[in-house]
Chain A
Amino acid sequence: MKNLNKIFFSALFFFFLNFIHSEEINRGLEIALKADDSFSGYGDSKTNLKMMLKDRKGLVTERVMEMKLLEVPEDGDKSLIVFDSPRDVRGVAVLSHAHKVGSDEQWLYLPALKRVKRVASKNRTGPFLGSEFSLEDLSFQEVEKYSYEYLRDENLDGKESHVVKRIPLDPYSGYTKQIVWISKSNSLIHQIHHFDRKSFHVKTQTFSGYKKYLNKFWRPSEIHMINHQTNKTTTLFFQDMAFNTGLSDKDFTQNSLKRSK
């Protein structure tokens, strides 16, 4: 009888624990879905990106590229990035078809050889063009690609924020977890802490200069990434962002990759 009691109470305890846990998961997901609102229904967009890389000694180099995005409502979004500078990579382009379930598809265009090369999407975790961003950081972050857990509320630099933990479901992600600060007032992401495979806090990403487009879609004008291991930083500037530019599926095919300039 005593044993039975023990089993009953421990079962109740675990049930309760699980209940709290699922509550946090639900709340985390809810916050994430709200943050994603600004990203659904945008249709398509075009923007110029400028990357400023700064090393430990303060040496600065620049990268310039153009990015096109197309929303695919039932699946992941499509993106096309074409490099403009440095000059030796001018014309190199990356086409990605993200998928809500399963690995993304990715192709690289090498203009010197006129070659389209399919690449394993696993190779998205390394530094992108020598910057502190990986292709994973730059690609579209579908809600379905993570599991969530609400952690706490916190004031971050004067902004009341929800703090949510998200765990990438992609086994090839470069991160084991990410802690995301989402503003309570407008559901915009302000900061992400990235934890690497060894669960070290390797990078901190901050978003600033949010602007509203078409009265609905909030986009940051600057994203800053600091690598805590190397003290190198990269700042990404979004310039001339435009929505409803008339892009369609046809602009995100291998043929369009071949003529991207």
Chain B
Amino acid sequence: MVSSFYRDFTKAFLVISLIFISSSLFSKVEKYGEVSFENRTFSEKGLFGQDKDHSSFTLSPEFYFESEDQKTSFTFKPKIRRDSLDDERNLFDIQDLSLVKVKNSYEIRIGIRRDFWGVTETVHRVDIINQTDQVESFDGEDKLGQPMINLSLERDWGVLDIYALLGFRERTFAGEKGRLRLPFLIDTDSAMYESSAENLRTDFAFRWSQSYRDLELALSHFSGTSREPEFINKSISLKIPYYGVIEQTGLEALYILGGLALKLEAISRSGQGDRFSAATAGFEYTQVGILSSRLDLGWIMEFNYDDRYQESPLALGTRLTFNDMYDSQILSGVMRNEETGETNVFVEASRRVRNCCRLSFESIYFNGGSNTNSIQKLFEYLKQDDFVRFEFIYYLGN
């Protein structure tokens, strides 16, 4: 799964970095990171007879080195995951292995990194630098490290980030025994690419962003191998991921109106069939101190548009923050697609335990809806995958 290029790049970079580190350039060294244990219990056996219960263990230490003048820093963060049920959920990833050099008018970042683009909460349309580690969590916010050279210019006219993305990371998919899997199996070992360079293509991207008091604006473009594959039939139950080359332009806007944050993310993509556009727009509002208490209640509402589909889901979320010593909070959300009648609901409660740890409890429920005439249900294959998830995280460090 990990390409030899990726392995070579990592090794070469690690060696160079070790030379840097040993050259006593770095005066500050910090070690932290986390160890977590997770268990997911499903309401039923899977559609393909998968087990009702599985656990996983994740270790991701982080090492941070910084020079005396704070202008040079180096970060190393590997991530190792072992799953009791699904081999495809086992992971060894370098999340970060990068050197950052800060100069007066620019900043250069070289190595394996993660970078996030976007303003919305439920769907991240513009975010494209990193591949999604889809098996990690249902929200798709976990990413794989991407080798890159990123030059960042910070001027009066805003911040311009220019990226050369060296090589490609494949998306992770649940395996045969795994839960929350697609109705077919994916042969990740024979992934196909539009580019003749396959997973060694160098992709390019840029993002300009600027803050104007109450308005945050960003414009970006990505030219390269799509992070989102299409599937080619190998047999009825086995498909091959096909990664096309795309051009994607993105717009992000966020406007602060009193306590309200209005958000918009829009993209236009060509290269995978016809050119299409998609957008997510919505707002976030926080009621501070509800009912004369310490509690805050945040509201999130986001609408989706995608010109490939007739209807796109509507998302509504709330965040209840207790503002107590344990930073307790409850997140909940509903996502509903009017076209297919499908709804999915989640609740996630978490709190800190002592100074070192965090405990969270999550439950997700999928409802196929009563609309039996619908063309194709998106979550049909997940209808037996309602689950409760428990996670305990121990944060390393002093």
Chain A residues near B (Cβ < 8 Å):
53, 55, 59, 61-62, 85-90, 102-103, 105, 113-123, 125-127, 129-130, 172, 174, 198, 230, 250, 253-255, 259, 261
Contact = CB atoms under 8 A, between A and B. Distances in A.
A105 to B, nearest CB: 7
B32 A87 contact: yes
A120 B261 contact: yes
Q: Which 6 A-B pairs have the closest CB atoms?
A: A87-B395, A122-B259, A127-B323, A115-B116, A88-B358, A126-B288
Chain A interface, >50% SS class = loop
Contacts of B30: 261
Contacts of B393: 88
Interface residues of B, number: 52
B75 to A, nearest CB: 9
A123 B259 CA distance: 7
B114 A120 contact: no
B107 A105 contact: no
Given A61-B325, A105-B213, A130-B326, A119 B258 contact: no
Contacts of A259: 73, 100, 102, 107
A90 B32 contact: yes
B159 interface: yes
A8 to B, nearest CB: 45
Given A86-B356, A105-B213, A115-B116, 5 more contacts: A87-B395, A88-B352, A118-B211, A123-B286, A130-B327
A85 B352 CA distance: 12
A126 B289 contact: yes
Contact of B325 (A113, A116, A130, A254): A130
A114 B211 contact: no
B344 to A, nearest CB: 21
Given A61-B355, A130-B325, A254-B159, A120 B256 contact: yes
B296 to A, nearest CB: 5
Interface in B92-142: 100, 102, 104, 107, 114-116, 118-119, 141
B152 A118 contact: no
B260 interface: yes
Question: Quick one: which of B154, B325, B396 has the most chain A CB within 10 A?
Answer: B325
A129 B327 contact: yes
B397 A123 contact: no
A250 B393 CA distance: 35
A121 B256 contact: yes
Nearest to B129: A114
A125 B289 CA distance: 8
A87 B324 CA distance: 16
